[in-house]
Amino acid sequence: MNLTELHRSFTENFGRAPELIVRAPGRVNLLGEHVDYNAGPVLPVAIDRAVYIAAAPNTDGCTRLHALDLSQQVDLRPERLDARLDAAGNPLPGWACYPAGVAWVLQQEEFSTPGVFAAYTSDVPIGSGLSSSAAVEVGFAALWQALGGWSLERLALAQLCQRAENQYVGVSCGLMDQFASACGVEDHALYFDTRSLEWEPAPIPPGIALVIADSGVRRSLTHSGYNERRAACWQAVRELQAYLPGVTSLRDVAATELAAYSPYLSEIPRKRAEHVVKEIARVGSTLSALQRGDRQALGALMYAGHNSLRNLYEVSTPELDTLVELTRHLPGCIGARLTGAGFGGCTINLVELDHAQDFIIGLRDGYQQVTGRQSQVYLCHASQGVHFL
Ligand code: ADP
Ligand code: MG
């Protein structure tokens, strides 16, 4: 659905024209996987796929949501949010918990969330790991900020959205997704230190395309597998504390220290910790490779990251491995790796812009030949964070 259609749908639905349109992007992580819950740095990119919310104030205090992609509508009243009920007293449908959760958190913090008519659509694929959920949250937070007459820094806005997803929706995500949707910078990746919350934009060298390939596969163990990985990292920290008492997370462990003590660790925590400690180092190296425009180094770091997720962290799938292997024979590919938590989802590829169209065709065809499956492949640009059109 394009912006003209969004405008028309809003007007047909609410009998008036929208006054505001907010755009909040999805994101892809260039490198730094499974390090956010180990206090490490990540390198996400806000992409040019986004949620678009058309809106106008509603003076009776009620918020009317129309999710155009789902053909669903719900009314929210402030006093019903705590009980997760709609205005009529029915349980909120799952999709409505994302905007409702944002309103709920904002109310807790005593930021005004005036009534609004809102119709929204998105071209971030849902459930592929490109953070369609964070885009919805950040878009609504920015909308209420504009209508409520208060102002917060983008990072603080992202933190409230994370809280909405953690506490209202009930998904234990880190801050990376909401951060990227809020703070994206055009043509840049974002180096984000999840411990200090400091961040800086890192330029994507000119002439490099971001290509995202969706394996089309989602494993059912995503949730349990994720929790197991988190637990194994904690186990590694506890075991390491016998030798390194100051350590509170794997962020505190140097590669040389891990090498020295790894013979004393249990097997699974040792493998998981080796991935995390080296991945944290790779994020730092990737940041400097971006700053130098060093394509060879970028590519080597991405492939190394993928191998580590496959062999040490064990979150890859045969389909993701196939997508990455195919790129080794495609001209113009700089590097490729699985992105997101794993167990399915997408790969991220850096490709020379001149070769991007052929690369996309080659990857799609190769994937179909090997797996018999279709892959959605998207050419993306690094885009700015949430803003009004
Ligand atoms: P993702 O990896 O895409 O963030 P999640 O499972 O975290 O996947 O979030 C997907 C959920 O976010 C959807 O099930 C829906 O509830 C909400 N959502 C995402 N996009 C839209 C949309 N276009 N319209 C309404 N709700 C959406
Ligand atoms: Mg999500």
What percentage of residues in the chain have a pLDDT greater than 90?
A: 96
Mean pLDDT, the chain, rounded, equals 97
Is any ligand 1 atom within 6 A of the Cβ of residue 375?
no
Report the separation in Å between the CA atom of 6 and the middle of ligand 1, taken as the mean of its atom positions: 18
Mean pLDDT of 289-318: 98
Task: Please state the three-class secondary structure of 330-361 as a single string.
Answer: CCCEEEEEEECCCCEEEEEEEEEHHHHHHHHH
Mean pLDDT of 260-273: 98
Query: Quick check: 54 and 64 in contact, CB under 8 A?
Result: no
Query: Residues lining ligand 2 (ion), CB within 5 A?
Result: 133
Give per-residue pLDDT as tens, 307-357: 999 999 999 999 999 999 999 999 999 999 999 999 999 999 999 999 999
| pLDDT of res. 221 | 67
1 vs 327, more confident: 327
Q: Tell me the CATH number for domain 3-204.
A: 3.30.230.10
Is any ligand 1 atom within 6 A of the Cβ of residue 178?
no
| pLDDT of res. 27 | 98
User: Residue 230 burial (CB < 10 Å; 0-12/13-18/19+)?
Assistant: middle
Sign of the C-alpha dihedral computed for residues 166, 170, 171 and 177 taken in this order: negative
Nearest CA to ligand 1 atom 15: 95
Greatest pairwise CA separation for the chain in angstroms:
69
Nearest CA to ligand 1 atom 4: 131
**pTM to 2 decimals?**
0.96
User: Model confidence at 287, in pLDDT bands (50, 70, 90)?
Assistant: very high
Mean pLDDT of 211-224: 86
Give per-residue pLDDT as tens, 157-184: 999 999 999 999 998 888 999 999 999 9
Dihedrals phi, psi of 18, to nearest 5 degrees: -70, 150
SS3 51: strand
Nearest CA to ligand 1 atom 26: 95
* Upper half-sphere CA count for residue 350 (Cβ side, 13 Å): 26
The ranges assigned to domains in the chain are 3-204
Report the separation in Å between the CA atom of 136 and the middle of ligand 2, taken as the mean of its atom positions: 9
Q: Active-site residue 252, yes or no?
A: no
User: Model confidence at 223, in pLDDT bands (50, 70, 90)?
Assistant: confident
